[in-house]
């Protein structure tokens, strides 16, 4: 095999040298032949000192010394540019949609040819499995081609990609139509997330631009929210982190490792601003800090290193936020809320429903449902509408008992614990048509109230606060003296009429 390749390259080299010598003209060849006749001794000396040619079996490839002196006519030429556009279109007609889309980024000529409407119309008809539905007046092939080409460029390409995406999204969107009557949320949210193999990744951005990415280690589903935890691996000190980004990742990495997975930005939280830190509880090992967008960070006491990160996400639009966003922009749906209704001062809108759930990130503590609830305009703050499902001034209203202790469970590696007087709060406000109006899911802490005691049988009074850009919440709890039991005696909700610009 080696000797055959050597003979081939040797003959190729000799042929190229003869071709190169012939291109210099006949005069140069005759002058080279006349020189040995003039000086025979020098020619004999040159022939004697000339090294013998290498054996054929040693030559395996053309030498770099003579390949650099090849004439320009023998160099590789771009024959694609010399082809007529009709030939290139014929070649493109054998490509699929993904390949035809990618080939448009080669150069400007390929981009113009790859946007041909006739090719994309053929792909649209074959890919979607539909017949060519043309107007009735189009009877011949020429008229069909002319009608397709009359539309602007790349119209059928955009239509094909939109149909392909909508066809995949329609499967899980159809499953999300079934609503749980007790919560007002889609009933198949957990099943859809598992069928799409959605995972959640947290990205930590450091001071010098470095990033570290971690995939969730644990997920806990409840009736109206999900708790995602990152506790595996080594995390840095919280002072070295500038921001955190939460992404929903579609698909499994084991299916196609060479293909990048689709990432949808859910939220971005700033950490470098100390005023954003809110200490909600401590135990013997960790300190809990609450941030925006339902992000809770546990920090080891003494070292300030991150022990774990938790994110509480409400079921409302959770699948869309985890799938339909992009790497840098979150999914922004059109909300149906009292921000779009005109609630006049002094009047009330009946028929609202308020759902409240408290859990310790693993186990449910209490779940309450209040319906119907009046929605009125706040007299002191005109930019809010208020709902008061539980009012402590009403003596006839029954108070909701809360059995057990209120705590926040955490786990980091082999260590675990409970932080007292902390919990995960999930609130859903539905309108008269049982459509979500205001939905939150966040960690919260019980703060000892300084107001007067409600009754002698009660020992302490606690307040649970939530203050966000779209609304506020105040929940008042009292604890009995002898029994480890809380009672919900007051619940006040404010929803902003006009949403703040992000």
Tell me the pairing of strands 306-314 and 348-359: unpaired
Structure tokens at 392: 């402590």
Q: What is the pLDDT of residues 249-258, one digit of tens each?
A: 987 555 455 5
Dist. CA 432–CA 356, nearest whole Å: 17
* This prediction's pTM: 0.68
3-class SS letters over 155-214: HHHHHHHHHHHHHHHHHHHHHCCCECCCCCCECCHHHHHHHCCCEEEEEEEECCCCEEEE
When pLDDT is averaged across residues 171-189 and rounded to a whole number, the result is: 89
Mean pLDDT to the nearest integer, 267-274: 86
Q: What is the pLDDT of residue 493?
A: 93
Q: What is the C-alpha to C-alpha distance for residues 192 and 322, in angstroms, rounded to an integer?
A: 11
Residue of 416 and 11 predicted with greater confidence: 416
Least confident of 76-85, 136-145, 323-332, 422-431: 136-145
pLDDT beyond 70 at 427: yes
Q: Which of 33-47, 71-85, 192-206, 372-386 has the highest mean pLDDT?
A: 192-206
How much is the average pLDDT of 271-285?
A: 86
Confidence of residue 452 (pLDDT cuts 50, 70, 90): low
**Whether pLDDT at 16 is above 80:** no
Give dist(CA 117, CA 93) in Å, integer. 11
The answer to whether 429 touches 438, Cβ cutoff 8 Å, is yes
Q: Is the pLDDT of residue 499 over 60?
A: no
Q: What digits encode the pLDDT tens for the residues 302-349?
A: 899 999 999 999 999 999 999 988 888 898 876 655 554 555 565 567
* pLDDT given at position 78: 66
- The predicted pLDDT at position 301 comes to 92
Burial 60-79 (b: 16+ CB within 10 A, else e): eeeeeeeeeeeeeeeeeeee
Q: Give yes or no for residue 10 having a pLDDT over 80.
A: no
Cα distance between residue 282 and residue 298, in whole Å? 9
Six token digits for residue 364: 């449910």
pLDDT tens track for 194-221? 998 999 999 999 988 899 999 999 999 9
CA distance to 262, 309, 475, per residue, from 197 (Å): 12, 21, 37
Residue 114: what are its φ and ψ, rounded to 5°?
-75, -15
* Res. 131 pLDDT band, cuts 50 70 90: very low
Q: In what order do the strands lie in the sheet with 211-215?
A: 211-215, 199-206, 241-250, 262-270
pLDDT at 441: 94
Cβ proximity of 271 and 256 under 8 Å: no
Backbone φ and ψ for 404, nearest 5 degrees, come out as: 85, 180
Alpha carbon 204 to chain centroid distance?
Answer: 15
Top pLDDT among 67 and 173 is at 173
Q: Cα–chain-centroid distance for residue 90?
A: 37
- Using alpha carbons, list the distances in angstroms from residue 298 to 83, 100, 314, 362, 418: 64, 49, 21, 16, 12
pLDDT, residue 38, reads 46
Q: What is the mean pLDDT of residues 85-110?
A: 86
Please give the share of the chain, as a percent, with pLDDT higher than 70: 70
Q: Is the dihedral of CA 252, 255, 257, 258 positive or negative?
A: negative
Mean pLDDT of 104-114: 86
CA torsion 301-307-313-319 (nearest 10°) is 170
Does position 414 have pLDDT exceeding 70, yes or no? yes
Query: Which of 1-10, 101-110, 342-351 is least confident?
Result: 1-10
* Greater pLDDT, 71 or 82: 82
Which candidate, 190, 411, 202, places its Cα nearest to that of 298? 411
Confidence at 41, pLDDT banded by 50, 70, 90: very low
Check residue 209 and give its pLDDT: 82
Residue ranges in 24-107 assigned as alpha helix (H) = 26-38, 40-49, 64-67, 79-82, 85-92, 97-103
Alpha-carbon span 406 to 419, nearest angstrom? 9
DSSP, collapsed to helix, strand or coil, labels residue 380 as coil
**Helix (H), strand (E) at residue 126:** helix 117-127
Per-residue pLDDT at 430 exceeds 60? yes
CA distance 175 to 285: 43
pLDDT at 272: 82
How many other C-beta atoms can be found within 10 angstroms of the C-beta atom of residue 284? 6
Give the per-residue pLDDT at 67.
Answer: 44
């Amino acid at each position: 095999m080696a000797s055959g390749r050597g003979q081939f390259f040797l003959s190729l080299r000799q042929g190229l040298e003869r071709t190169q010598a012939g291109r210099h003209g006949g005069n140069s060849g005759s002058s080279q032949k006349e020189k040995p006749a003039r000086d025979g001794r020098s020619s004999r000396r040159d022939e004697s000192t000339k090294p013998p040619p290498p054996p054929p079996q040693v030559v395996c490839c053309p030498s770099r010394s003579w390949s650099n002196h090849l004439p320009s006519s023998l160099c590789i030429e771009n024959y694609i540019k010399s082809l007529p556009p009709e030939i290139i279109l014929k070649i493109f007609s054998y490509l699929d949609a993904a390949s035809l889309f990618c080939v448009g980024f080669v150069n400007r000529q390929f981009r113009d040819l790859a946007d041909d409407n006739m090719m994309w119309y053929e792909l649209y008809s074959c890919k979607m499995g539909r017949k060519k539905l043309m107007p009735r007046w189009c009877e011949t092939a020429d008229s069909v081609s002319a009608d397709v080409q009359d539309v602007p460029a790349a119209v059928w390409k955009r239509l094909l990609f939109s149909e392909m995406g909508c066809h995949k999204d329609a499967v899980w969107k159809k499953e999300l139509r079934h609503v749980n009557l007790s919560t007002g949320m889609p009933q198949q949210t957990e099943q859809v997330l598992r069928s799409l193999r959605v995972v959640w990744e947290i990205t930590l951005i450091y001071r010098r631009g470095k990033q570290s990415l971690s995939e969730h280690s644990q997920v806990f589903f409840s009736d109206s929210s999900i708790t995602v935890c990152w506790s595996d691996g080594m995390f840095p000190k919280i002072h070295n982190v500038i921001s955190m980004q939460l992404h929903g990742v579609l698909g499994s990495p084991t299916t196609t490792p060479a293909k990048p997975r689709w990432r949808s930005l859910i939220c971005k939280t700033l950490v470098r601003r100390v005023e954003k830190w809110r200490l909600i509880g401590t135990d013997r090992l960790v300190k809990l800090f609450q941030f925006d967008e339902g992000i809770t960070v546990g920090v080891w006491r003494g070292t300030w290193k991150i022990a774990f990160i938790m994110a509480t996400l409400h079921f409302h639009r959770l699948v869309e936020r985890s799938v339909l966003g992009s790497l840098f922009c979150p999914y922004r749906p059109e909300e149906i809320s009292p921000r779009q209704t005109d609630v006049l001062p002094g009047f009330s809108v009946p028929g609202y429903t308020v759902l409240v759930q408290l859990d310790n990130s693993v186990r449910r503590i209490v779940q309450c449902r209040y319906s119907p609830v009046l929605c009125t305009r706040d007299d002191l703050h005109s930019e809010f509408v208020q709902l008061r499902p539980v009012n402590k001034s009403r003596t006839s209203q029954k108070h909701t008992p809360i059995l057990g202790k209120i705590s926040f469970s955490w786990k980091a590696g082999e260590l675990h614990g409970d932080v007292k007087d902390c919990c995960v709060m999930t609130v859903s406000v539905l309108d008269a048509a049982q459509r979500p109006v205001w939905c939150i899911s966040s960690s919260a802490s019980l703060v000892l109230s300084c107001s007067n005691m409600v009754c002698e049988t009660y020992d302490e009074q606690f307040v649970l606060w939530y203050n966000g850009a779209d609304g506020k919440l105040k929940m008042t709890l009292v604890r009995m003296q002898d029994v480890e039991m809380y009672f919900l005696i007051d619940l006040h909700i404010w929803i902003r009429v006009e949403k703040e610009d992000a």
